[in-house]
Structure 1
Amino acid sequence: MSEHIFKSRLGPHLETFIAQKQSVGFPYQSSARILYHFDEMVFEYFPDVESLTKEIVDKWIHCKPNEHPNGLLRRITPIRQFGKYLHAIGHEAYILPGNIPNKQLQYEAHIFTTKELQAFFHAIDSCPVSP
């Protein structure tokens, strides 16, 4: 399952949640790492709490300095899914609303022209070899 040991009182539920995701075919590796860091935060700041509360989730979703909105989205999506999982198995849990964060940045694709591609590969070919 996971190479991490969950320490908070939510830990056993986090482990079964990850196992359930993996058992239906999701690799769930990066989300598992996020949940491990979430567990560390819960263990440090909420050591006696046994349910997923709004207070815990609010602390987790607080933006980190210089965090990109899409990074925040990647960090909170597993928490939203975990809340839904807990609710589905009959536990009280705060489920983060789907509109948080309220904006995901979209990237606009750039189609390179033949000239731009030639200049790009010329620049790469001009770079000195590096070990």
Structure 2
Amino acid sequence: MNGPRFTSKFAPELERYLAFKENMGFHGATRVWYLRNFDRYCTERNLDNLDRATVEGWVVWRLPSHQEGSRSWISCIRDFGRWEHATGNVDAYVLSDRWRVGNVRPQPYLLTNEEIVRFFDAAAQLVIRSPWRWQGSAFFTLMHSCGLRTGEVLGLTPEDVNLGEGTITIRWAKGNRSRQLPLTGQVIDVLAECDRTSREIFGADRTAFFISTFGTPVRREAITDAFHRIWDQAGLPHPIYGKQPRPYDFRHHFAYANIERWMAEGTDVNAMLPYLARYMGHGSLDSTFYYIHTSPDFMNGYADIVREGQGILPEVGFE
């Protein structure tokens, strides 16, 4: 693309915001397209204040061409406002949730224990020339055993993975929330082996913990390709109809597998839910309930847990 991407008074902030997102592993061209559209709107009107009139004015101006379907395109300007606010512009307007429309969340593919075992056996023996040969097990272990989002794994740097202390630090995750998570010994071993190989091939100063063949951060599109390559090598079938397996299903499995384990052990699920929500980076227990309601074994007790006490659960943290 010739010339600067942005021309409005917000150009420097927009460039810094995109650089931040790209460093976190988010390289989507769609985000750039919509932000350029916002930038052009502001340039034509000589707007220089990221206030409610500017942000909602752009949204209202664009809405006629988006009468049907999702308003997910709005999320880019909401996220930009949050980033501005978090980086010092306390007067930046964050688009209100009233602009959201109800979207049906995709139902997860419920992974079986056999599928998980076969998947990770295949990941450990993946036949491929790219870094996925040694990174696959570690990447999907963090989704399966720690319940991380895809973007959170992509955003990890070597400094975020503290194998000596057995922790990882998730920075600026969904909702601009950061958190530090403890790891089990098995997860530490998997990450240590991955890190050792990456250091031998790419050196100790790589910019991301998980990297591409070119030594750059892994692109989001590569995750699905790697997942399905491992799935196919494991000889696991793809359903002809209905739900299809996705990397994100490991995060779903993490949530409801913990709930089922606590119920089987007789542990007070009510007392444990805030810890699960904090570990997964949820802003509220409602988000956690969405993940765990998919468990068939959990549904019988779901109503009782909801009724008994979201209001009396203690605040928790891992710092």
Q: TM-score, normalised to structure 1's length?
A: 0.69
Please say which of residues 81-90 and 57-66 is displaced more in the overlay: 57-66
> 2:24 maps to which residue?
24
Are 2:50 and 1:52 aligned?
Answer: yes
Aligned partners of 1:48, 1:94: CA distance in 2, in Å? 14
Of 63, 76, 81, which aligns to 1:83?
Answer: 81
Contact 2:38/2:58 (8 A) holds in 1: yes
Aligned partners of 1:81, 1:37: CA distance in 2, in Å? 15
The structure-2 alpha-carbon separation of the partners of 1:105 and 1:95, relative to structure 1 and needing over 3 Å to count, comes to same
Greater C-alpha Rg: 2
Contact 2:47/2:54 (8 A) holds in 1: no
> 1:94 maps to which residue?
93
> 1:129 maps to which residue?
none
**TM superposition shift of 1:48:** 4.5
Structure 1 segment 1-131 matched on structure 2, within 5 A: 4-45=4-45, 47-49=46-48, 51-62=49-60, 63-65=63-65, 67-70=67-70, 73-91=71-89, 92-101=91-100, 103-106=101-104, 111=241
The one-letter code matched in structure 1 to 2:94 is I
Contact 1:87/1:93 (8 A) holds in 2: yes
Aligned partners of 2:24, 2:106: CA distance in 1, in Å? 33
Runs of at least 4 residues of structure 1 off by over 6 A? none
The structure-2 alpha-carbon separation of the partners of 1:48 and 1:41, relative to structure 1 and needing over 3 Å to count, comes to closer
Aligned partners of 1:64, 1:24: CA distance in 2, in Å? 32
**TM superposition shift of 1:34:** 0.6
Deviations 1:59-111, CA, capped at 9 Å, x for gaps: 111112453241xx23210000000010011112010122322x2343899x5
The structure-2 alpha-carbon separation of the partners of 1:85 and 1:98, relative to structure 1 and needing over 3 Å to count, comes to same
The structure-2 alpha-carbon separation of the partners of 1:27 and 1:65, relative to structure 1 and needing over 3 Å to count, comes to closer
Gaps of 5+ in 2: 108-240, 243-319
The structure-2 alpha-carbon separation of the partners of 1:26 and 1:66, relative to structure 1 and needing over 3 Å to count, comes to closer
The structure-2 alpha-carbon separation of the partners of 1:39 and 1:27, relative to structure 1 and needing over 3 Å to count, comes to same
Aligned partners of 1:74, 1:68: CA distance in 2, in Å? 12
RMSD: 2.7
Aligned partners of 2:50, 2:13: CA distance in 1, in Å? 10
Q: Which has the higher contact order (CA 8 A, sep 6+)?
A: 1
Gaps of 5+ in 1: 113-131
Aligned partners of 1:3, 1:67: CA distance in 2, in Å? 32
The structure-2 alpha-carbon separation of the partners of 1:26 and 1:107, relative to structure 1 and needing over 3 Å to count, comes to closer
Aligned partners of 1:4, 1:22: CA distance in 2, in Å? 17
Deviations 1:28-61, CA, capped at 9 Å, x for gaps: 321111101110001112x141x31101111111
Aligned partners of 1:106, 1:60: CA distance in 2, in Å? 26
The one-letter code matched in structure 1 to 2:17 is F
Contact 1:4/1:36 (8 A) holds in 2: no
